[in-house]
Structures are given as C-alpha cells and as structure tokens.
C-alpha cells in the first residue's frame, strides 16, 4: 500500500533527490542556524582547525539576541563540517536544511597562498550561494596586520574577495569568539528580516514552495485552482513557521504550523502536512525539552567516530548554560498550540506515515524517525523509540554502502542509548557486514573488524576467556560462535593473523562445549592453519584503536584432569636437621605431574624445574603449545582443579651425593624412603665381609657434615653387631668438595644364632610334635639332660640322658633339618636368613646447612645369612680339674661343604656337609669375682646371663669351609643353663677339701675300702666368697647309684655312720675354713657314692638380707663329682687288686687284725639282727 501511494504521488525519476541523509539530526536542529566550518588550503593543521571549531561551537551553539521589540531571542546554531549542496535543495521544505553561514580557516605564508585561499573561499560561497547569508574567512599569516579585518602590509586580498576576513598571526586568536558572535548576529538579523518579509507577504500572492522531487509533479497542473491556492498558503505558512522557529519564536512557529497543518490537511498535501506536524513536534520539543541533547547517554559519545560534527555539537551544548524545563501548564497557557509530550510522538508518527507515502521522501522519513526516537528517549518511552527505529529499517532507500553503514551505526547508537544492546549489536554487525559487502566498491575489513568488535558486548561475548568460563557463561552460543567466526574472518582478511589466531583460540577455548565434534575438528584445523602464519602467544594484543584483546589460553585442549605437585625424589628432599628422619620437609625442586586429555587418550606429562632463588615459589599453572598456540594455563581458570595455586618453599641450595657400593645391587628391595642404591651379600653365619661405600658429591655445594646411621627392624644390639663402620675415617675426608668422593667401609657380620632354638624338639620330636606349644617352650630349658640333676629326680631323667646319648647318634641330619625348619616358624628372627638394613647418610653443607636443612640418602643393604654351624645340644661335664669343666656341644654343619672347626687352640674337627658331631670344649669355670659383680636382684636369670656370657667369651669356635675361602666364628651367646649346670659352670663359692682316711682326695680318684673298715671322711670347707655365710648346713649322704636311674638312699642296712652326717654351721667368715669329720663303715660290698653338700638355710622373709646373701640363701652347694668308694671283701680285693696283694704279704698282721675286727663286727651285727628278728 505504501509503495502504491508513492507511485501515485511521486514521479518515477526525480531530478533532485536528497542523497545525503543526516542521521545526527535532532528535533532541535529545526530551530538552528546552519553554518559550515571548513578548513581551506593545505597549510593549516588539522589540530588547529579542530581546536578552533571547538571554540566556535562552544560560543556559538546557543546565544541570545535582543530583538527589535526589546525581547530576547534564544537562538541555536548548528555547525557542520560537511554539507552536501543537494541538501540545500530541501531548504524550502524545511528551512533548517539551508546553509546560512560559512566560516573558513586558512593559513598562508605568501601572497600566492593568500590568493588561493581567497579563491577557494569565494568558490565555496558560490557553491552555496542560493542559501548563504554571510561568510567569514579566518586567515593565519606570517605577519601581524594592523587591523584584524585588513590583510597585513605587503599582503593584499584579490579584488574579487568580498568576504569579511579576520587576519591572525598566532593560532590562539583571542578575539575569535567576538568575531564569530558578530557573524552569528548578522546571520540572525538577515534571517529575521527574511522572516518579516515573508510574514508581510500577501496571503494570495504566495508562490508555491516545492520539495525537490515535486517539481515535475506540478507540471501541467492548474496552479490557479482553489485547491492549489490553499496548498500554496498552507506550504507558505509552514515555511513561515520554520523561519519563526529558527528566529527564536517558538510560539509563533507553533501557531503557524498549526494553521498550516489544518490548511494542508484539507488539500491532502501529505508531504507538507507531515512537515507541518514535524514542525509542531520540533517546536514543542524545543520548548518542553530545552536540554534534550544533554540527556543523551555518555556511551553514545564514545561510540561515535572521531571528528563527527554531531559529537562536537552535543559536547559543547552540554557545557552551555541550560535553563530548566518550565512547567507544562505554564507553557500551555502561553503557547496554546504546543503539543503535550504524548501528543508529540503521536504527531511524529503521523508525520512519518505521511512521509512514507512518498518514495523520494525516504530520507526525510528516516531522519524524522531518528528525531522522533531521540524525543522518545528523552521521554523515556523506550518501546516507542524502538518502534521508530524498527520502522527505519523498513524504509526503502537506495543509499550508498557508506550511508547504509552510517544508518546502521546510528541505529546501533540509538539502541544502545536506551539499553537495547542486543539490537544495537545486531545493527553493528550489519554495519560491519556492509563494509565488506559485494556492493561495496572499496571493502574495508579493518572497519568491519572494528565494528564487529564493538558488537561483541551485545552478544554477552567478552573477549577475555576468563569471563567466558563455563560457570559464568551467558548468552547465546550459536550466535556467539557466528560472531567469533566472523571476527576471525575479518581479522584474517585485514591481514592480522595474530588476531585471527587469537580469536580462533578463543573460539576453541570458550565455545568448545557448544561445538559439534565436527566443528571442533574443523576449528582445530583452521586454528592450525592460521597459527602457521602467526603463532599464538599468551600476550594481550593491542589494536590500533587502542582496544586490547586479552590473551586466550587453550586450557581445555589438552584438558587437564588433575594437577599434582610432586615432591622430589625422597633422597633429594631437604630435611630439617632438627626433625626426625621420617618427616617430610619442604621441597626444593618442582617436578610437576599433569595429565592431559588429547581427544581420547590420557597422557601424563611431567614438568620439572629448578628454582634459581631462595624463597617462596608460587605455581599458578603451566604453559602448553597446542595447535600452534602457546597458552599459559592458569589453575585458577581451569575446571576441576582442587587448588588454584601451589606455593613451594625454596630453601637454600644443598649438596647432592651419589652413592655407590662395592657390592652388587639387590635385584629388588623393599621400597623405602631416600634409597638411592642397594647392596646385597650372602654370608654364612659368623662370617664377616666389608663393603666399601663411595660417596661422590655430584652437586655444586661442598658437603660439610655427614651423619651415618643404620635403620633396620632388628634390635640395636644385633644391629650394631651386623653393621659396623668407622665414623672417624669418613669425618677425616670432610669437607667434600663438589665432584670429590669419599669412601666408607661398612663391616658386615652375619650374626646368626648358633644355638638351635629348641633342641629338645630335635631329640624327641616324635613324642612332642603333637604337643601344644606351651610344652615345647617349656621343654627347651628343663629338658637339658644332666646326670648332675638332683639325685632325687626320678627315672625319667635317666631315660632322657640315655636318649640324649643315643638320640644324637641315631638322629639323621635330615630329620633334624626338618624339625629346625619347623622351628623357623616359631622363631622367625633367628632363622630368617635375610637381614635388611638401611644405611642412612645424612649430609648437608653450604647455605642449606646454615638454614638448617639436610638431605638423606640411603643405601639398602641386604645380607643373606646362610646357616653355618648349629649347636643343637649342649651339656656341661666336670673336667679333671675343679677349675675347668667340659662344655659338650652337639654341632651340625649346616652347609653343604666340608667344614673344619677349630674349637680350642689345638683341637680341630672335620665335618662333612650336613654332618652332626659332638665336641667337648674345656672351659674355665666362671670365677666368683665375675659373679660377685652381680648386684641388684640376684635372681637366677642374672646368674645365668653372666655364666652364659662367660662361656660365650671363652669358647671360640672357628670354622672354615673347605673349598671356599669362607671363614667364620660361631658364638655361643644365647646358651641357656639349668641350675645344675650353673653350679658346674661357676666356681663353687666353697672350696672343698675332702679327706678319706686322712688322705686328700681328688676328684675322680678311685677309692676302695674293705668291708667293715672304718673309713674316716673329712670335709673341709673354705669360704671363697668375700662375705661371710651364715646358717650353713653341711650334710654327707651316702647313696648307691644303680646305673639305671635309681639312686638308693636307703642305706641303713648297708653302712653305718659314726659321727654326725649333718652339721650346722652358724657362720662361715669370709675366707674362713671349717673342718668336719665323720666315719663310716660299710656292711656290704658295693660301690657307694658320697653326696657332700652344703646348703644355706632359707633366709627368713622378714629379716632384711644383704643382696649378696640373697644369692646364696636357700642354695645348696654340692661337691662334684661325688666321691665314689668301692667296698670289697678282702679276698675279692685280692683278686681284684694286684697292688693290694703285695701289701697283704707285707702287712699280714695288720690284715689279721682287721679280719678279726671284721668278724667281731659281723658277730655284733648278726647278734643285733637276730635280736631284732626275734623281737619282731
């Protein structure tokens, strides 16, 4: 419909059309005088012109003039830098489009240049001659002129130069404002005169005013028709309204417009009716919103291009003094035709509708829409404003591309000004596209890119990837992707590969989740392509316009799943010297371990660094180089990161060591801290070996201290036996300079337990295997067989003794091995053949030492301890001399080699592999002074310990494996002794002196006596202790050993004792001696034994006792071995004893006497018995 009307009302091809729309117009401009500011010539600097223009605009934009009636007129002026002469053609239609004034700026150095300037000025005057009222030329010359309006001496203006010129030398031109005001005043007065002239015209004489395109329409029309007359009057009234408005008479203008509108409406002159309405609106707006331009938002200014006249005008008006808007009621009473705010937009809409009926009034319509929009904005009617703007797009104009761009940027500005940022961005994008459209003869990608960049904010698109993180991502991804893609294209086409790489990276980084897999692939490929031209780097890019494009880092390609700060290898970690070894101190280097996702496969990357300075090191992220883009990936901006940064304390430099050993490395060792190397060796029990540990300082810092320690699961005593070293030797080699080495000899000793843990088991395994373990453990001690056990013990022990004897010989090595394996389970430490230890080398030096840090490196030492000799059983036997005893050992060669075993200085034995054998080792008895050193609780355990240590120290078992070079030493430590054994092992505290028939008896002397002979037994006891003994009881008991385990003490019928066989000794002083004697007569022949023992009485619990007494309290000392006396009758003796036979002859009488005595004795005996029998 719209187009239909246009076709009807307007001619198809108009001669003149206004082809230069002025989108910056406001309604206020209807009231303004239009002036052109134009620099001429080539000399004058752009900067000067700009500054001058600013000054002019500041003074001239709004001024007051006193008119002829005495009132003041508020006059507005609009200064433009460009004015297409075609626009003047619309001056009849709307007078504010006429250019009324011209001010030129020029600079000359000589006459020729001055002439040229004058010529150009005159040419401009001619150009706008149709409308121009007045002009000024501001000229800067080299010399000062006497009169500002006269050229300086030696210079002259050409004769055809009729303009009033102002001559200056310097560019400050202090009285510029005065001259401008004078010019403006003259313009006003000319205008005022024109207005008066028009207003005085006769109503019926007026000529028809025409819009440019209308000229053909009226050809052939009856100009004299009534209708046309009315049209002429209406148009002229409207024209008068325009002039009134410009001349500062809004009230007159309003009434003129009003009457014009009613006239024009009647004749259906839509175009001019529209203009009348617009005039009404403009005049009303001028009155209602005198400050309107000021209310435009500030960002509008910033988005305007440099040098735009609109901007300058508005900026200056903001500075001018502004009257506050008067109340509407007051105005309404003064100006009855004024439109109310809501009427303004209504009328404007009507005006636009009327304009729209004419195809060639498109520009007027567009401009009207913009003006209406601005008023709506002023009225805060944004929706209305938006509707004006959206209708602008529908106006079909054939415009140049540049004008289209301007249209869109203006639209965008306006949309922005009332907050429609999305629309604004949309328009900007359109404008950008116009810059490079196919119709554009000179595409400008730079401009396109700039506009595009401005548009991004409307799409909630921030070019900083940090703000575009998935959590706070807003906006429309599809559109955003499109915009970024366009940005990339624009950047590419304008020849800035760095930018396109940046945007491409940004696209991939921020929009990754919104891209389809295919798009991702494509984008990645494109990125790879563009980055080949310019590698992406994580630095902000600064554009020519000053815009900074923040860096885009590809943090999600590869996607980091986890970021772990990895400590240094333990042996490189510095330790606080004060701290315990196990503590993890701070670390020095920063090896980082991060995983990356490359499409589907996960890979681990390790980044290691070496700090250069001491202090706190903050780890914020890492850098990648992906698809040709270098990215700084900050943990803070990455998804799924636990910590946004890590802080590493960097301590002063510490030395580093490398450790090597002379022994082969362990194939595998149990993992532990700090271990740098390992050493392994196999040793037979008791064998020793050396291991050289070489410590090389591989760092830069000298090593000043080294501390050595061994760490193992063993107890300290055993540990110190196995691992030995000389600290002094190592210390002597310090300090260790960089690159130097020190060596340390580690002595290793296979400290196995040579005592078979449960020998009893071996012996009677068949019997006891099924027994509970409690019995087994108990049996270990009590089972030690001894013939020296108390005679009161029963038959079983003799059985054991026999089994001991026989069992050893009969036991095969195999079965004992099997049982020892069994025992391994019970006591793993003794039999486990691998000992693991860790030699910790704690070292430090340099600044690190001063700061209190050290490092620990460890050598893992594995010693495989093979069994060599095992003592399966042992016993003590009295030796020939009381000062010694025999330690009888049952040894088994546990190796497969033949073994030579030296057990005394002179004696040695050869043993086949796995062969058991028995050896007697003479050992000095434990002297009493060793025992006397015992203090504290004198329990049996202490005593045993001392004794077993005594044995271990004296018995020296040295073995050598034939065939191998291994030699070793077995110790008896850990041997256990029973009470009876102990008595034998230690020196008796009592020294015995036994006399039989007054002859001193030595142990194991063979003694005989005759039947019925009275044998005197003398016993001397000497206290060898250093303290007195008290309450001793010496007892002499005779018994017969049946050699089947039965000892018969019931000997009343076989012997008779004269004298006490029990004597109480109240006290025995130290080194004191007592002697007791008694006599005995044997009635029957046989072998008798005398058990001589001395027991101390149980100490009463209440009386406090000296501790040494405690040892002896309740104890029994026995004379060992027991004395054996063989009693025989004479003849028997004769047969038996050759010696005795000789004596017989010699002592015949004596024997006779003895025989007689015996007979008497026998008689008496029989008598006694007979009487006893009878009495029974």
Partner 1 sequence: MAVCVAVIGKDNSPKYIRCVDESSALQFHCKVHTSIDIIEEKLNVGNKAATDIRDLYLNLLYATEEYKIYGYATNTKIKFIIVLHSSNVSLRDNDVKMIFKKLHAAYSNAVCNSFYIPGDQLNSRQVQSI
Q: Which of 755, 756, 872 is nearest to 812 (CA)?
A: 872
Q: Which is nearer to partner 1, 424 or 1025 (CB)?
A: 424
| Residue 236 zone, left/alpha/beta (φ > 0; ψ -120 to 50; rest) | alpha
User: Least distance in Å: CB of 478 to partner 1?
Assistant: 5
Q: Which is nearer to partner 1, 369 or 531 (CB)?
A: 369
The residues, any chain, with a CB within 8 Å of residue 930's CB and separated by 6 or more, are 946, 950
* Residue 419 sits in the site that holds partner 1 (CB under 8 A): yes
Stretch that binds partner 1, among 29-37, 472-480, 911-919, 1128-1136 (CB under 8 A): 472-480
Stretch that binds partner 1, among 61-69, 238-246, 471-479, 664-672 (CB under 8 A): 471-479
User: Least distance in Å: CB of 458 to partner 1?
Assistant: 9
Rounded Cα distance, 285 and 340, in Å: 9
Q: How far is CA 1042 from CA 295, 331, 1087, in A?
A: 138, 155, 9
* Residue 740 sits in the site that holds partner 1 (CB under 8 A): no
Out of 245, 386, 452, 1081, the residue judged to bind partner 1 by CB under 8 A: 386
The residues, any chain, with a CB within 8 Å of residue 438's CB and separated by 6 or more, are none
Out of 315, 475, 652, 672, the residue judged to bind partner 1 by CB under 8 A: 475
* Residue 374 sits in the site that holds partner 1 (CB under 8 A): no
Rounded Cα distance, 235 and 197, in Å: 16
Rounded Cα distance, 299 and 303, in Å: 6
Q: Tell me whether the omega of the peptide bond preceding residue 658 falls within 30 degrees of 0, making it cis.
A: no
Q: Which is nearer to partner 1, 390 or 692 (CB)?
A: 390
Q: Which is nearer to partner 1, 443 or 477 (CB)?
A: 477
Stretch that binds partner 1, among 365-373, 382-390, 684-692, 779-787 (CB under 8 A): 382-390
Rounded Cα distance, 198 and 618, in Å: 83
Rounded Cα distance, 804 and 760, in Å: 9
Out of 63, 161, 272, 415, the residue judged to bind partner 1 by CB under 8 A: 415
Q: Which is nearer to partner 1, 90 or 415 (CB)?
A: 415
Rounded Cα distance, 911 and 811, in Å: 16
Stretch that binds partner 1, among 233-241, 381-389, 540-548, 1056-1064 (CB under 8 A): 381-389
Out of 126, 154, 203, 394, the residue judged to bind partner 1 by CB under 8 A: 394
* Residue 383 sits in the site that holds partner 1 (CB under 8 A): yes
Backbone angles phi, psi at 1009, to 5 degrees: -150, 165
Q: Which is nearer to partner 1, 382 or 1008 (CB)?
A: 382
* Residue 470 sits in the site that holds partner 1 (CB under 8 A): no
3-state secondary structure of 197: helix
Chain-centroid distance, C-alpha 671: 24
Contact 414, 374 (CB under 8 A): yes
Q: Which of 516, 1120, 520 is nearest to 878 (CA)?
A: 1120
* Residue 382 sits in the site that holds partner 1 (CB under 8 A): yes
Please report, to the nearest 10 degrees, the dihedral formed by the alpha carbons of residues 112, 114, 120, 126 taken in order: -120
State the distance between the two ends of the chain, measured CA to CA, in whole angstroms: 170
Cross-strand partners of 1014 = 1081
Stretch that binds partner 1, among 222-230, 415-423, 791-799, 1003-1011 (CB under 8 A): 415-423
User: Least distance in Å: CB of 264 to partner 1?
Assistant: 30
Residue 429 half-sphere exposure toward CB, CA atoms < 13 A: 19
Out of 390, 644, 1044, 1147, the residue judged to bind partner 1 by CB under 8 A: 390
User: Least distance in Å: CB of 278 to partner 1?
Assistant: 24
Q: How far is CA 205 from CA 239, 272, 896, in A?
A: 15, 19, 149
Out of 2, 194, 229, 422, the residue judged to bind partner 1 by CB under 8 A: 422
Rounded Cα distance, 100 and 79, in Å: 10
Backbone angles phi, psi at 634, to 5 degrees: -95, 135
* Residue 299 sits in the site that holds partner 1 (CB under 8 A): no
* Residue 420 sits in the site that holds partner 1 (CB under 8 A): yes
Rounded Cα distance, 75 and 70, in Å: 15
User: Least distance in Å: CB of 422 to partner 1?
Assistant: 5
Rounded Cα distance, 400 and 417, in Å: 26
Q: How far is CA 1143 from CA 617, 1045, 1135, in A?
A: 110, 37, 13
Rounded Cα distance, 442 and 432, in Å: 13
The residues, any chain, with a CB within 8 Å of residue 116's CB and separated by 6 or more, are 41, 108
User: Least distance in Å: CB of 475 to partner 1?
Assistant: 6
* Residue 515 sits in the site that holds partner 1 (CB under 8 A): no
* Residue 473 sits in the site that holds partner 1 (CB under 8 A): yes
Stretch that binds partner 1, among 380-388, 600-608, 782-790, 939-947 (CB under 8 A): 380-388
Q: Which is nearer to partner 1, 383 or 542 (CB)?
A: 383
User: Least distance in Å: CB of 409 to partner 1?
Assistant: 16
Q: How far is CA 777 from CA 758, 939, 971, 974, in A?
A: 8, 21, 22, 15
Q: Which is nearer to partner 1, 470 or 974 (CB)?
A: 470
Cross-strand partners of 923 = 885
Q: Which is nearer to partner 1, 253 or 431 (CB)?
A: 431
Please tell me the count of residues contacting partner 1 according to CB under 8 A. Answer: 23
Positions in 476-495 near partner 1 (CB under 8 A): 476-479, 482
Q: Which is nearer to partner 1, 391 or 677 (CB)?
A: 391
Q: Tell me whether the omega of the peptide bond preceding residue 567 falls within 30 degrees of 0, making it cis.
A: no
* Residue 663 sits in the site that holds partner 1 (CB under 8 A): no
Out of 423, 435, 630, 1118, the residue judged to bind partner 1 by CB under 8 A: 423
Out of 426, 449, 874, 959, the residue judged to bind partner 1 by CB under 8 A: 426
Q: Which is nearer to partner 1, 397 or 1003 (CB)?
A: 397
Positions in 180-199 near partner 1 (CB under 8 A): none
Out of 474, 1136, 1142, 1156, the residue judged to bind partner 1 by CB under 8 A: 474
DSSP 8-state assignment for residue 41: S
Positions in 446-465 near partner 1 (CB under 8 A): 459-460
Stretch that binds partner 1, among 97-105, 270-278, 416-424, 1107-1115 (CB under 8 A): 416-424
User: Least distance in Å: CB of 287 to partner 1?
Assistant: 27
User: Least distance in Å: CB of 393 to partner 1?
Assistant: 8
Backbone angles phi, psi at 176, to 5 degrees: -60, -45
Q: How far is CA 985 from CA 179, 701, 871, 1129, in A?
A: 139, 60, 18, 38
User: Least distance in Å: CB of 75 to partner 1?
Assistant: 37
Q: Which is nearer to partner 1, 418 or 1082 (CB)?
A: 418
* Contacts to partner 1 by CB under 8 A: 382-383, 386-387, 390, 394, 415, 419-423, 426, 459-460, 473-479, 482
């Amino acid at each position: 419909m719209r187009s239909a009307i246009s076709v009807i009302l307007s001619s198809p091809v108009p001669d003149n059309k206004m082809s230069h729309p002025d989108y910056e117009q406001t309604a206020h401009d209807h009231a303004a005088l239009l002036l052109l500011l134009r620099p001429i010539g080539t000399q004058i600097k752009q900067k000067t012109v700009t500054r001058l223009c600013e000054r002019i605009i500041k003074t001239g934009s709004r001024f007051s003039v006193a008119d002829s009636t005495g009132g003041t007129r508020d006059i507005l002026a609009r200064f433009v830098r460009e004015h297409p002469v075609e626009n003047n053609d619309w001056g009849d239609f709307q007078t504010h489009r006429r250019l009324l004034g011209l001010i030129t700026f020029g600079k000359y150095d000589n006459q020729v240049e001055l002439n040229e300037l004058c010529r150009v000025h005159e040419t401009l005057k001619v150009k706008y001659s149709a409308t121009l009222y007045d002009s000024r030329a501001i000229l800067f010359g080299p010399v000062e002129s006497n009169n500002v309006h006269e050229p300086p001496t030696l210079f002259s203006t050409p004769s055809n130069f009729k303009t009033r010129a102002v001559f200056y030398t310097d560019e400050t031109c202090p009285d510029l404002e005065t001259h401008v005001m004078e010019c403006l005043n003259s313009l006003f007065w000319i205008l005022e005169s024109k207005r008066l002239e028009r207003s005085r015209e006769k109503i019926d004489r007026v000529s028809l005013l025409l819009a440019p395109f209308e000229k053909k329409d009226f050809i052939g029309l009856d100009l004299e028709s009534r209708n046309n007359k009315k049209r002429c009057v209406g148009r002229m009234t409207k024209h008068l309204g325009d002039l009134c408005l410009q001349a500062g008479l809004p009230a007159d203008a309003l009434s003129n417009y009003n009457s014009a509108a009613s006239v024009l409406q009647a004749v259906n002159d839509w175009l001019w009716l529209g203009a009348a309405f617009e005039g009404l609106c403009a005049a009303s707006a001028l009155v209602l919103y005198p400050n309107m331009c000021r209310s435009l938002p500030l960002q509008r200014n910033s988005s305007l291009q440099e040098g735009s006249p609109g901007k300058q005008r508005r900026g200056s008006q903001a500075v001018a003094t502004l009257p506050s808007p008067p109340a509407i009621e007051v105005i309404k009473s003064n100006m009855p035709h004024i439109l109310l705010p809501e009427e303004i937009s209504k009328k404007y809409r009507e005006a636009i509708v009327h304009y729209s009926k004419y195809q060639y009034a498109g520009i007027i319509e567009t401009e009207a829409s913009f003006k209406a929009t601005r008023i709506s904005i002023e009225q805060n009617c944004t929706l209305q404003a938006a509707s004006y703007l959206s209708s602008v797009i529908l106006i079909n104009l054939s415009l140049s591309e540049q004008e289209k761009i301007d249209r869109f940027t203006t639209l965008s500005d306006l949309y922005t000004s009332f907050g429609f940022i999305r629309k604004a961005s949309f328009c900007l994008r359109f404008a950008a596209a116009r810059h490079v459209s196919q119709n554009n003869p000179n595409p400008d990608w730079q401009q396109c890119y700039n506009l595009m960049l401005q548009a991004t904010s409307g799409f909630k698109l921030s070019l900083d990837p940090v703000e575009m993180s998935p959590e706070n991502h807003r906006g429309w991804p599809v559109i955003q992707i499109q915009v970024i893609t366009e940005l990339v294209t624009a950047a590419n086409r304008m020849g800035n590969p760095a930018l396109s790489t940046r945007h491409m990276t940004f696209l991939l980084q921020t929009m990754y989740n919104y891209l389809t897999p295919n798009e991702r692939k494509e984008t990645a490929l494109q990125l790879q392509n563009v980055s080949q031209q310019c590698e992406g780097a994580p630095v902000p890019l600064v554009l020519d316009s000053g815009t900074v494009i923040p860096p885009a880092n590809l943090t999600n390609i590869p996607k980091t799943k986890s970021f772990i700060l990895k400590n240094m290898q333990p042996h490189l970690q510095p330790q606080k010297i004060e701290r315990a070894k196990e503590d993890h101190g701070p670390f020095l280097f920063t090896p980082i371990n991060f995983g990356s996702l490359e499409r589907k496969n996960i890979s681990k990357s390790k980044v290691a660094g070496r700090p250069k300075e001491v202090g706190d090191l903050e780890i914020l992220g890492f850098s990648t180089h992906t698809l040709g883009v270098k990215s700084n990936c900050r943990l803070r901006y990455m998804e799924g990161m636990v910590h946004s940064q890590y802080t590493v304390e960097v301590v002063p430099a510490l030395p580093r060591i490398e450790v090597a050993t002379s022994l082969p490395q362990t194939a595998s060792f149990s993992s532990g801290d700090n271990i740098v190397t390992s050493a392994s060796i196999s040793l037979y029990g008791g064998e020793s070996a050396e291991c050289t540990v070489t410590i090389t300082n591989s760092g830069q810092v000298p090593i000043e201290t080294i501390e050595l320690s061994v760490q193992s699961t063993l107890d300290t005593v055993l540990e110190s036996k196995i691992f030995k070293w000389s600290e002094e030797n190592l210390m002597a080699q310090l300090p260790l300079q960089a690159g130097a080495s020190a060596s340390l000899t580690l002595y290793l000793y296979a400290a196995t337990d040579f005592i078979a843990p449960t020998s009893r088991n071996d012996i009677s395994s068949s019997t006891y295997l099924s027994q509970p373990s409690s019995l087994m453990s108990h049996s270990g001690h009590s089972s030690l067989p001894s013939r020296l056990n108390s005679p009161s013990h029963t038959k079983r022990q003799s059985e054991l003794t026999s089994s001991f004897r026989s069992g050893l010989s009969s036991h095969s090595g195999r079965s004992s091995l099997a049982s020892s394996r069994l025992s391994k389970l019970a006591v793993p430490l003794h039999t486990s053949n691998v000992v693991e230890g860790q030699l910790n080398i704690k070292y430090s030096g340099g600044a690190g030492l001063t700061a209190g840090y050290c490092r620990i490196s460890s050598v893992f030492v594995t010693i495989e301890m093979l069994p060599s000799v095992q003592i399966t059983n042992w016993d003590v036997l009295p030796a020939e001399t009381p000062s010694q005893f025999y330690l009888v050992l049952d040894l088994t060669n546990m190796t497969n080699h033949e073994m030579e075993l030296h057990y005394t200085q002179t004696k040695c034995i050869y043993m086949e592999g796995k062969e058991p054998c028995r050896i007697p080792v003479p050992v000095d008895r434990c002297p009493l002074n060793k025992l006397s050193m015992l203090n504290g609780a004198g329990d049996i355990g202490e005593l045993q310990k001392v004794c077993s240590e005594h044995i271990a120290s004296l018995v020296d078992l040295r073995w050598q494996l034939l065939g191998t070079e291994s030699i070793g030493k077995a110790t008896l430590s850990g041997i256990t002794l029973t009470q009876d054994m102990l008595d034998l092992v230690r020196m008796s505290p009592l020294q015995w002196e036994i006399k039989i028939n007054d002859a001193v008896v030595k142990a194991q002397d063979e003694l005989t006596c005759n039947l019925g002979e009275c044998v005197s037994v003398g016993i001397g006891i000497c206290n060898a202790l250093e303290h007195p003994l008290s309450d001793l009881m010496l007892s002499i008991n005779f018994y017969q050993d049946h050699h089947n385990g039965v000892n018969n003490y019931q000997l009343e019928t076989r012997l008779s004792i004269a004298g006490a066989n029990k004597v109480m000794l109240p006290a025995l002083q130290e080194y004191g001696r007592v002697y007791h004697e008694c006599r005995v007569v044997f009635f029957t022949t046989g072998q008798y034994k005398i058990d001589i023992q001395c027991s101390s009485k149980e100490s009463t619990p209440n009386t406090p006792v000296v501790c040494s007494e405690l040892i002896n309290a309740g104890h029994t000392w026995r004379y060992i071995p027991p004395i054996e006396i063989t009693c025989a009758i004479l003849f028997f003796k004769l047969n038996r004893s050759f010696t005795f036979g000789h004596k017989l002859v010699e002592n015949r009488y004596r024997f006779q006497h003895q025989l007689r005595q015996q007979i008497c004795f026998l008689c008496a005996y029989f008598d006694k018995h007979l009487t006893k029998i009878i009495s029974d």
